[in-house]
Amino acid sequence: MRAIDDYLATFGEDPGYLNWAAFGPLSPAARDALHADVELLATGRAEGIAVTAGRTAEAQAAVAGLLGSRADEVTLHPSSTHALQQALAGLDGAVIASVAEFPSVTITLERAASASCGRLAPRWISPAGTRVTADAVAEELDPTVTALVVSHVDFRSGYRADLAALREVLGEDRLLIVDAVQSFGVVDEDWSAADVVVSHGYKWLRAGRGTGFARFTDRARERIRPVLSGRIATAAEGLPTDALPDPALSAQAYAVSAPDPFAAGRLAAGVAEIAAVGVSAVAERLERNVDAVLALADRYGIAVVSSREPAERAGIVVLEPSDPQGAGRVLAAAGIQVTVRSGAVRVSPHAGTSTETLGMLDAALADAREFICP
Ligand SMILES: Cc1ncc(COP(=O)(O)O)c(C=O)c1O
């Protein structure tokens, strides 16, 4: 069996599940990792504690593998929002962000600015269609701008930003901080364009909550003060008691306390599954399933407001039927799980979404006709 077929065979969620942009039902590998670590921590034996303590390094290495970075540039966090706090709290200058970003970006940036005594100021933009393009960013650039924080794939519109173009317009002196929650592992991206990448494992990596992570390049470290740096983030050997050592001279400076080994183990397992197949193979299967959803939308004459262009999308299709709530009720009654919000129906398949699920969507859309047509 080919690796991709093995991977696709691990999808065991209920038929009708099309809500991967909200939550990824756990993979067998993540569940097995959790069960094994629970047993290892049930006895008090030193070996079990040591093995599970090693999950942090395993997860860092696995994430670094997909990012194409060094393992010591990767830190683990309870969530991607915690990781963004680390990136934004220590910045100075004007930081560009779209007002339509996920609140992990907007609220975190606003709070970091209010605590900065004027050192940091958000530079809010409202680009057309919530698309953070290089042109939209270029209009705002002036010498006070130090960074852009942007979702690689927008949670609402599904738009995939062009990281290479954003890097080019920002130049080498400003930071590109990327929220990769809606793309990591399912979009074959060159992450070297970004100075900071944050994400988590509970959607597309199928690893459950508690699995946030971040990569800070050396350049990012030169510009982001580790103001939220905690007890495990110093250069000291062992426990830094009776001393106040400086933050570590590595990305470890942006850590707080020991990561949850259960979460780290799940994350390592979720990332390893994708690494074994290759991101490009997963991305190609996802692209096919997105095409299948788009074809159904066209068959039923539903307006598609997310991009159809493969380079501008990932796993999110946004539909605007005439009555989104009504259509959502019919889909839910048929066992289809999607997100209905802001006057739209967000459909998000994964690489392993089955033909059965797509068939259920087809039948449910046929039943929802009265809520679809203008
Ligand atoms: C783009 C984006 N960023 C951040 C988050 C929140 O991530 P976390 O719960 O890890 O803070 C989400 C959740 O849906 C999201 O879609």
Q: Find out whether the beta carbon of 181 lies less than 6 Å from any atom of ligand 1.
A: yes
Give distance in angstroms: CA of 23 to centre of ligand 1. Answer: 10
- How many helices (H) and strands (E) the chain has is answered by 13, 11
For residues 101 and 236, the answer to whether their CB atoms sit within 8 Å is: no
Q: Where do the domains of the chain lie, and which CATH numbers do they carry? A: 28-276 (3.40.640.10), 278-371 (3.90.1150.10)
- Give residue-wise pLDDT tens across range 135-147: 999 999 999 999 9
Cα distance between the two ends of the chain: 47
The H or E element spanning position 282 is: helix 279-299
DSSP code at position 352: T
Give distance in angstroms: CA of 155 to centre of ligand 1. Answer: 8
Q: Find out whether the beta carbon of 182 lies less than 6 Å from any atom of ligand 1.
A: yes
- Give residue-wise pLDDT tens across range 213-233: 999 999 999 999 999 999 999
Ligand 1, atom 11: nearest CA belongs to which residue?
81
Q: How far apart are CA 359 and CA 374, in angstroms?
A: 24
Q: Find out whether the beta carbon of 157 lies less than 6 Å from any atom of ligand 1.
A: no
- Give residue-wise pLDDT tens across range 288-337: 999 999 999 999 999 999 999 999 999 999 999 999 999 999 999 999 99
Q: Could you identify the atom of ligand 1 that is nearest to the CA of residue 81?
A: 11
Give distance in angstroms: CA of 181 to centre of ligand 1. Answer: 6
Q: Could you identify the atom of ligand 1 that is nearest to the CA of residue 212?
A: 10
Residues ≥6 apart with Cβ < 8 Å to 258: 53, 56, 232
Q: Find out whether the beta carbon of 104 lies less than 6 Å from any atom of ligand 1.
A: yes
pTM of the model as a whole: 0.97
- Give residue-wise pLDDT tens across range 47-88: 999 999 999 999 999 999 999 999 999 999 999 999 999 999
Q: Find out whether the beta carbon of 289 lies less than 6 Å from any atom of ligand 1.
A: no
